Amino acid sequence: MVQLAYIVVAFRLTHGALMNMDGFKRIVRALLCAAALTSCGTAQVLRGQSKNHPLPRIVQKDGRYALFVDGEPYLILGAQANNSSAWPAMLPKVWPAAEYLQANTLELPVYWEQFEPEQGHFDYTVVDTLLAQAREHRVHLVLLWFGTWKNGSSHYIPLWMKRAPQKYPRMIGAKGLPVDSPSPFATATLQADIRAFSALMRHLKTADEQRTVIMMQVENEPGTWGSVRDYSPAAQEVFEAAVPTELLTGLHKQVDAGNPNWQQAFGEDAEEYFHAWSVARYIEQIAAAGKAIYALPMYVNAALRDPFHSSHPPRYETGGATDNVIPIWKVTAPSIDLLAPDIYMEGSAEYLKILDLYHRPDNALFVPETGSDSKYSRYFFAALGNQAIGFSPFGMDYTKYANEPIGTSQITEKSLELFALNYKLIGPMQREIARLNFEGKLRAVVEEKGKPTGSLQFGKWNVTVSYGLGQFGRENPPGNAEPTGRVFVAQLGDNEFLVGGYFCRVDFHLSDGASGKQREYLRVEEGAYKNGNFRAGRIWNGDQTDWGLNFASVPQVLRVSLGTY
Ligand code: DGJ
């Protein structure tokens, strides 16, 4: 403003004689405007600085979790691109899918082979492109470090490492042959990974004061297919030695006497537990080094085993955070904030069980990958109902790669439609939904094949959810032709609820039917959240409430006030 006053005075002195009052006022207005814009610009620059963007972090309160971004609970409405899509040349095929989905967060890999093409020389150009384009598209990023492990192998290590297999060895299987999986006892590989991941975190710390990147995935589905553990001499020596006391203590494991080795301590689970510990210990060192530089939340994703435990290794990937070894990972890798299931099991019994297994008092639930077939789309609500901090279908881009049969055969707007509906509904109120979940006020239910109804309980109110009904009249629900129904209900007050969903009918009843009282819809408002406040656009009544609250394929959010008579 002082500068502005000088300019005005100077202008008057030099041009005063020639200018009428109107002209003078016009110039003053223009200068004031420019000053306002400059201060606006300054505000924007300031907003881009880290002091206005506290570090994203996982917060726990009363056994519930939230991912805080910019200081408030944030819900990841995610999309993960295909494995080879995070190259600048492919990004034009990625953004349109993310936009169509209305994702607020994109999960993209950082490839070690690209990031460190020569030992000790780091190439930040691709990461910088991801940051710049994410900002242009106003989405956050979760970066996936494809380092030592990618799906149990190490196919993303740089060429200079692949050319030195003696130095960066694979595991040895029970029969003495190499297995296509990196040895968690390979110290040179570990040191190289620590250096590379640290370089990445150091770069993000300075290049991303805006906190475009909100979380890091350390490795990808680490562990091993085809061998329960490493049988190399280095691994064997540790397997035969005493189990570390910290692990036994952390697991609250009572041992009879002395220092048991793995076999003595864990019997038939010994080899599997040993491998989980070996991999977790390796990854802990990478995550700890990265966090010491830049403490973003970090997670490890897991390839799963049958949640009803009907299979045994090596039929699933061992070493990773399968449900049976979560406690080992928790004790061994404290720098990892959460263990996250990649869910490609379409059946609702399995899917819901997995959500339950990873939603634990010591683990925030996050679904970083799930199938791209639209059948999986409803599980976004199931994840919400388990207080998930985020959800992300896999392979969400138009590069023409599709991972059928675990995903859909083609990614098109049509195939993405039911996923897009989720984010269309929740996107405008993701902060409110994340907060309600953090406060333990939200529940959700999804349709299961062969089960035409579901229910949710909120104290004296029972919510019934029916599938496959028309919107008028009362009859027995047949279920939808495909199980697409989904709904969330959040309690705002004793008798006040927020409800949103698709392909179902929702009705409220008094749980205590014996009281002789009936439920009355006092007021049902359809609206949306703006700046944290619910604004009603219309009131539902008549056909829209007489038979219950019907949700079709339109994104609709209701605030429901209940009474009794
Ligand atoms: C799980 C992995 O984490 C992904 O990177 C990808 O390989 C899918 N499986 C299969 O498309």
Q: For residue 434, give both structure tokens.
A: 């994340």
Output the pTM of the full model.
Answer: 0.90
Q: Which sign does the torsion angle of CA 414, 418, 423, 425 carry?
A: positive
Q: What is the mean pLDDT of residues 469-475?
A: 94
Bond preceding residue 361 cis, omega within 30 of 0: no
For atom 2 of ligand 1, the residue with the nearest CA is 151
Looking at the predicted structure, is the pLDDT value of residue 481 above 50? yes
Q: Quote the pLDDT of residue 527.
A: 98
Q: Quote the pLDDT of residue 68.
A: 98
Looking at the predicted structure, is the pLDDT value of residue 41 above 80? no
Please spell the DSSP secondary structure of 83-149, one letter per residue. TT--STTTHHHHHHHHHHHT-SEEEEEEEHHHH-SBTTB---HHHHHHHHHHHHTT-EEEEEEEEEE
Q: Nearest 5°: phi and psi at 495?
A: -125, 25
Q: For residue 207, give both structure tokens.
A: 């290049």
Taking the centre of ligand 1 as the mean of its atom positions, its distance from the CA of residue 404, in whole angstroms, is 12
Q: For 353-403, write each residue's pLDDT tens digit.
A: 999 999 999 999 999 999 999 999 999 999 999 999 999 999 999 999 999
Which helix H or strand E contains 216, and what residues bound it? strand 213-220
Q: Quote the pLDDT of residue 22.
A: 41
| From 156, 342, 366, mutation site for ligand 1 pocket: most ligand atoms within 8 A of C-beta | 342
Contact present, 144 and 115 (Cβ < 8 Å): no
Residue 376, helix vs strand vs coil? helix
Q: Quote the pLDDT of residue 50.
A: 59
Confidence of residue 30 (pLDDT cuts 50, 70, 90): very low
How far apart CA 193 and CA 177 sit, in angstroms, is 25
Confidence of residue 51 (pLDDT cuts 50, 70, 90): low
* Nearest-10 Cα torsion for 298, 300, 301, 305: -150
Looking at the predicted structure, is the pLDDT value of residue 348 above 60? yes
For atom 9 of ligand 1, the residue with the nearest CA is 151
527-557 b/e (C-beta count within 10 Å ≥ 16 → b): bebeeeebeeeeebeeebbebbbbbeeebbb
Bond preceding residue 314 cis, omega within 30 of 0: yes
Taking the centre of ligand 1 as the mean of its atom positions, its distance from the CA of residue 96, in whole angstroms, is 21
Contacts of 281 (CB under 8 A, 6+ apart): 184, 332, 333
Q: For residue 40, give both structure tokens.
A: 């606006």
How far apart CA 542 and CA 547 sit, in angstroms, is 9
Q: Nearest 5°: phi and psi at 257?
A: -160, 160
Looking at the predicted structure, is the pLDDT value of residue 43 above 90? no
For atom 5 of ligand 1, the residue with the nearest CA is 83
Taking the centre of ligand 1 as the mean of its atom positions, its distance from the CA of residue 419, in whole angstroms, is 19
Q: For 183-222, write each residue's pLDDT tens digit.
A: 999 999 999 999 999 999 999 999 999 999 999 999 999 9
Q: For 251-286, write each residue's pLDDT tens digit.
A: 999 877 789 999 999 999 999 999 999 999 999 999
Taking the centre of ligand 1 as the mean of its atom positions, its distance from the CA of residue 219, in whole angstroms, is 12
How far apart CA 501 and CA 467 sit, in angstroms, is 12
How far, CA to CA in Å, does 364 sit from each of 179, 283, 338? 33, 19, 6
Q: Quote the pLDDT of residue 24.
A: 38
The percentage of the chain sitting over the pLDDT mark of 70, rounded to a whole number, equals 91
Looking at the predicted structure, is the pLDDT value of residue 15 above 70? no
Looking at the predicted structure, is the pLDDT value of residue 11 above 60? no
Looking at the predicted structure, is the pLDDT value of residue 29 above 90? no
Round the average pLDDT of the chain to a whole number and report it.
Answer: 91
Q: If we measure between CA atoms, which residue out of 367, 361, 264, 279 comes closest to residue 318?
A: 279
Q: Quote the pLDDT of residue 553.
A: 98
| From 220, 345, 372, mutation site for ligand 1 pocket: most ligand atoms within 8 A of C-beta | 220
Least confident of 139-143, 421-425, 473-477: 473-477
Strands 105-111 and 140-150, by their bridges, are parallel
